Amino acid sequence: MPLKRRQIAWRAAQDLVDGAYVNLGIGLPTLVADVLPADREIVLHSENGVLGVGPAPGDNEVDWDLVNAGKQPVTLLTGGSYVHHTDSFLMIRGGHLDLALLGAFEVSQKGDLANWTTDDPNFPPGVGGAMDLAVGAKEIRVLVEHTTRAGAPRIRRQCGYPLTAAGVVRRIYTDLAVIDVTSAGLVVRELVDDIDFRTLQAKTEAPLHAAPDLRPLRAPAL
Amino acid sequence: MPLKRRQIAWRAAQDLVDGAYVNLGIGLPTLVADVLPADREIVLHSENGVLGVGPAPGDNEVDWDLVNAGKQPVTLLTGGSYVHHTDSFLMIRGGHLDLALLGAFEVSQKGDLANWTTDDPNFPPGVGGAMDLAVGAKEIRVLVEHTTRAGAPRIRRQCGYPLTAAGVVRRIYTDLAVIDVTSAGLVVRELVDDIDFRTLQAKTEAPLHAAPDLRPLRAPAL
Amino acid sequence: MIDKRVRSLADAVAGIPDGATILCAGFGGAGLPDALCEAVIEQGARDLTIVANNAGTGRTGLAALLATGRVKRIICSFPRSSGSVVFEELYAAGRIELELVPQGIISERMRCAAAGLGGFYSPVSVGTRLAEGKEHREIDGRMYVLEKPLKGDVALLAADRGDRWGNLSYRKSARNFNPTMAMAASLSIAQVRHFVELGEIDPETVITPGIFVDRLVEVPA
Amino acid sequence: MIDKRVRSLADAVAGIPDGATILCAGFGGAGLPDALCEAVIEQGARDLTIVANNAGTGRTGLAALLATGRVKRIICSFPRSSGSVVFEELYAAGRIELELVPQGIISERMRCAAAGLGGFYSPVSVGTRLAEGKEHREIDGRMYVLEKPLKGDVALLAADRGDRWGNLSYRKSARNFNPTMAMAASLSIAQVRHFVELGEIDPETVITPGIFVDRLVEVPA
């Protein structure tokens, strides 16, 4: 079974180490805040000046002065703090974040990231903090559905959409697999149970390599 | 009678308008904080991150966490605030201060300012915030004794010491006179009672012009 | 005596000239000076350039100002928020110019202006379409583009508390662009939820010192 | 679990390598990490470059570190404070290099490094000896010099309160260079007067967020 969106977020969250400073981009990555491993302290950064983002508030706790990058209400962990936008992006661009988890339209086999415009003339482009994050965080990982709704692959030889940054993505979490971007190409580390490697390759434009220790990709029901 | 140092500060303080944001440099200008006109709210800035510097503390109120640019203990006015150094110099360099009152080794007839090094090889130079202030504040005025202890003029055709900034000084307050730097040269606006213009000129290397409405320079005993 | 408080929104936005560049704070709805945006509609300035992170949502606040057709150009990072219907209509009709700037670079360019600097070298956007036409330079083995200061004629701000000196404090993520925009405009105007007495904001916790604020008006939440 | 608190000054300064560039906060005696400076003496690193506003006073703290002869170079704005006797002796004897940088430019260069930028154009020092050898550029009719980022291997900080995440708050003008230096070094070490529980520093009034701090040690005033 392909993972649900929340399960993709859960899988990405399992790789976060205790004490890590992690930015969550809008879309899929935002879900990570609600599925963090309970045994670790992970400090989530939101580009709009929140360090120490907590889980979504209960219905009675919503405070519209406290939102995340996707403008959804969040909470603040004990120990968290607020900064203004310029300082927030100093954190981003200055290499102070260990990791940024970002959404994508497309990722190339070389780790190129395209997530800001589809060039649809009827639809204004929106870059937000994506370019700042893509060049600023110490490491970039992407959370993305393996294909578009129409079935087109999002992991490509070259990005068709305009780039956000070149050669920055190190790991890709999809509903079907966990894939590392390496100097030897794309290496599949984990694959969901009911899809074989060949089927995965068919849904992926760029060539894939199976890791010697290829493992099943499984997530709890959530 | 030449003015005493505190009287020079008092005279400079008389020209500060209600609501002005004013930086005080080290040395003579620092004294201005204690002789402000009581009928105006003037917000004094100290380069080390204090906005709203108050008068010197009483002996029992000294707090070594609250000092001015000269590292002397000060107080904070109600309404004052603290910022870090980078923001303090953003205020300075970004033109947010209406006025900086600075000390000087020398000032030229064109408003060149020299106040950071005498090139004495036995004595390290110290620039501090002088260059930032000299180019950043909306207006620069200098408080200085008219001559050195040895009697050499400090107001010169050209500065002999290395410049802090060129062409920035607009008004000079000395123990003998108040002098404006204008496109037509140095214009004496006020002169102490017991010195005539010719004597003042003799103590000044650069040529002086008497203002049509030259007035006496007087200050209370303080 | 310093008293930057004004009595009405009309007084707060008085004198904004045609052709002004207006920095408009806020991230989504947080810290958004919606009342001031609407006051600018009444005030009447036109041919405006707006600098903001988003392009307004719904039909109120910034979106209402856009809907007047008096904004010729918007400089923002993310005009694509759900509910940016007014902007999308204007954009599709070719009735508004869009300059898209990465979010951190908008903020840094405004800070650059505020700090009296002439420009800075940024690694952001290198190798992308947004770097086209920008001066490139390699420094210590990394490629950068030159970014220029972005100064406002006016800043519209939203804060939680403000005193007569113009000192401001914010709540939580409503801080966002407000402190930087306050520093980067010739005329900075804040709507605050609460006027407070001088000294009520702890000097350690003033986020925007009054030196950066010219007028403030009380607009209860 | 994040816990950046260490038990001793020796633990706080462990591992500083020879040849390190150390950012040392403080303005005069306010916000000066004197105990950490003295701990570096015990720790033993040599061939150090110190970045600080002043060059130490008396015979303790930074001055004591200078007196060991293990500082080859100091980058500062004002080494001339009264009581900078140790520095003056070393300087007169030609035993220490001095790079003099305007105070705001030291601070801005460190921020530039902290912010991941490649450099900036500054109007400060134009037309003076301190601009000699710097790249000049006219932008919009004003002359600027190019200033480069200044990054530390280590920052030594002094704060009032600190918690296990490394969040710091300061008192009054003891804030000075501390927040910027905390951001600009690979390893930031703070001496704090009081360890406090997580959450005791109001999130609105954290001045240095813990992301910028690696170790903190309690040194009561």
Q: Kindly report the nearest CA distance between residue B130 and chain D, in angstroms.
A: 7
The b/e string for C43-56 (b: 16+ C-beta within 10 A; e otherwise) is: eebeebbbbbbbbb
- What pLDDT is stored for residue A191 in this prediction? 98
CB burial of B76-112 (b: ≥16 within 10 Å; e: otherwise) equals bbebbbbbbbbbbbbbbbbbbbbbbbbbbbbbbbbbb
Q: Integer distance in angstroms from the first to the last C-alpha of chain B?
A: 14
Query: Is C touching D (3+ C-beta pairs, cut-off 8 A)?
Result: yes
Task: Give the integer Cα–Cα distance in Å for C164 and C178.
Answer: 18
Q: What's phi and psi for A11, nearest 5 deg? A: -60, -45
Domain harbouring D205, CATH code:
3.40.1080.10
| Nearest Cα residue to C111 out of B88, A47, A86, B137 | A86
Q: Does residue D107 fall inside a structural domain? A: yes
Q: Are there at least 3 beta-carbon pairs closer than 8 Å between B and A?
A: no
CB burial of A180-209 (b: ≥16 within 10 Å; e: otherwise) equals bbeeeebbbbbbbeebeeeebbebbbbebb
Q: What DSSP string runs through C140-151?
A: TTEEEEEE----
Q: What is the pLDDT of residue B9?
A: 98
- Provide the 10 A C-beta neighbour count for residue B64: 15
Beta carbons within 10 angstroms of residue B196's beta carbon: 10
pLDDT at C143: 98
Q: Is D138 a member of any domain?
A: no
Contacts of A152 (CB under 8 A, 6+ apart): none
Instruction: Provide CB contacts within 8 A for B150, sequence distance 6+.
Output: none
B189 Cβ contact list (under 8 Å, min separation 6): B177, B178, B179, B180, B211, B214, B215
Maximum separation of any 2 CA atoms in chain A, in Å: 51
User: Which runs of E-coded beta strand occur in chain D?
Assistant: 21-24, 48-51, 71-76, 97-100, 119-122, 136-139, 142-147, 152-162, 168-169, 185-195, 215-218
Interchain pair B45, C198: CB under 8 A? no
| Residue D190 lies inside a defined structural domain of this protein | yes
Q: What is the mean pLDDT of chain B?
A: 96
Shortest Cα–Cα distance, C153 to chain D (Å): 17
- Segments in chain C below pLDDT 50: none
How far D75 CA lies from chain B's nearest CA (Å)? 11
Asked if residue A173 is part of any domain, the answer here is yes
A80 occurs within a structural domain: yes
D82, pLDDT greater than 80: no
Under the banding of pLDDT at 50, 70 and 90, the label for residue B120 is confident
| C189 neighbors C154 (Cβ within 8 angstroms) | yes
End-to-end Cα, chain A, rounded Å: 14
Q: Cα–Cα–Cα angle for C176, B136, C103, nearest 5°?
A: 25
Q: Which two tokens stand for residue D104?
A: 């705001």
Put simply, the answer to whether D207 touches B84 (Cβ < 8 Å) is yes
Q: Which residues of C touch B40 (CB under 8 A)?
A: 1
Q: Give pLDDT, residue A123.
A: 81
- Chain C contact probe: residue of B90, B98, B135 with most C CBs at under 10 A: B90
Most confident range, picked from B26-35, B116-125, C4-13: C4-13
CB-CB neighbors (< 8 A) of D2 in chain A: 18-19, 41, 43, 79
State residue A214 phi and psi, 5-degree precision: -50, 125
Are D128 and B131 in contact (CB < 8 Å)? yes
Domain housing C206: 9-116+150-218
Contacts of A36 (CB under 8 A, 6+ apart): A13, A16, A42, A44
Q: How far is CA B19 from the centre of its chain?
A: 18
In a domain, A59, yes or no: yes
Q: Does C173 sit within 8 Å of A49, measured CB to CB?
A: yes
- C103-114 and A85-93 helices cross at what angle (nearest 10)? 120
Residue D178 lies in a domain: yes
Structure tokens at A146: 């393996």
**Which of C32, C100, C112, C128 would you mutate first to test chain A, the one with the most A CBs within 10 A?**
C128
Among C91, D114, D131, smallest CA distance to B134 is for: D131
Asked if the structure places residue D141 within a domain, the reply is no
Cα–Cα dist B3/B14, whole Å: 15
Please list the ranges in chain A whose pLDDT falls under 70.
none
Give me the pLDDT at residue D171, please.
98
Q: Kindly state whether C80 is in contact with chain A, defined as any CB-CB distance less than 8 angstroms.
A: yes
pLDDT at C215: 98
D118 touches chain A (CB under 8 A): no
User: Nearest Cα to A88, choosing from D212, D197, C216, D64?
Assistant: D212
pLDDT, tens digit, 9 for 90 and up, residues D126-174: 999 999 999 999 999 999 999 999 999 999 999 999 999 999 999 999 9
Number of domains in chain C: 1
Q: Which two tokens stand for residue D53?
A: 């506003």
Alpha helices in chain C (DSSP H): 9-13, 34-43, 61-67, 85-92, 103-114, 178-184
Name residue, tokens 């956000």. Answer: A164
Selected for mutation to probe chain C from D107, D139, D172 (highest C CB count within 10 Å) is: D139
A126 Cα distance to chain centroid: 17
Phi, psi of B3 (to 5 degrees): -70, 150
pLDDT of residue D80: 80
**Whole-angstrom distance, CA of residue D71 vs CA of residue D89:** 13
C116: left (phi over 0), alpha (psi -120 to 50) or beta: left
Contacts of A148 (CB under 8 A, 6+ apart): A154
Look at residue D4 and tell me if it is in a domain.
Answer: no
Contact D2 A51 (CB under 8 A): no
- Angle of CA points B177, B182, B185, to nearest 5°: 80
pLDDT in tens, A122-159: 788 999 999 999 999 999 999 999 999 999 999 999 99
Residue A222 within any structural domain of the chain: no
**Spatial contact of A11 and A178, defined as CB atoms under 8 Å apart:** yes
User: Rounded to whole angstroms, how far apart are CA atoms A197 and B12?
Assistant: 82
Q: Could you tell me the two tokens for C198?
A: 């001088």
Kindly state whether B187 is in contact with chain D, defined as any CB-CB distance less than 8 angstroms.
no
> What is the rounded CA–CA span in Å between residue D66 and residue D86?
7
Count of domains for chain A: 1
The DSSP output letter for D18 is T
A67 touches chain C (CB under 8 A): yes
pTM greater than the 0.90 cutoff: yes
Count of pairs with CB atoms under 8 A, one residue in B, one in C: 65
What's the token pair of residue D146?
């190019």
User: Which of A81, A94, A136 minimises the CB distance to D203?
Assistant: A81
The answer to the question of residue A165 being in a domain is yes
A41 counts as catalytic: no
Token pair of A151 as six digits: 């079935």
DSSP β-ladder status, C119-122 and D119-122: antiparallel
Q: Residue B91, SS3?
A: helix
**C177, C155, C167, C158: which is closest to C209 by C-alpha?**
C167
Contact status, residue C139 vs residue D113, Cβ threshold 8 Å: no
Bridge partners, residue B76, by sequence = B53
The closest CB to that of B90, out of C115, C167, C210, belongs to C115
Q: Do D81 and B85 touch (CB under 8 A)?
A: no
Q: Beta D168-169 vs D152-162: how paired, if at all?
A: antiparallel
Interchain contact A161–C (C-beta under 8 A): no
**Nearest to C66, CA basis, from C77, C56, C76, C81:** C56
CATH number at residue B93: 3.40.1080.10
C30–chain A Cβ distance below 8 A for any pair: yes
Q: Quick: pLDDT tens for A36-51.
A: 999 999 999 999 999 9
Q: Please report whether residue B222 resides in a domain.
A: no
Look up the domain containing A94 and give its range. 5-217
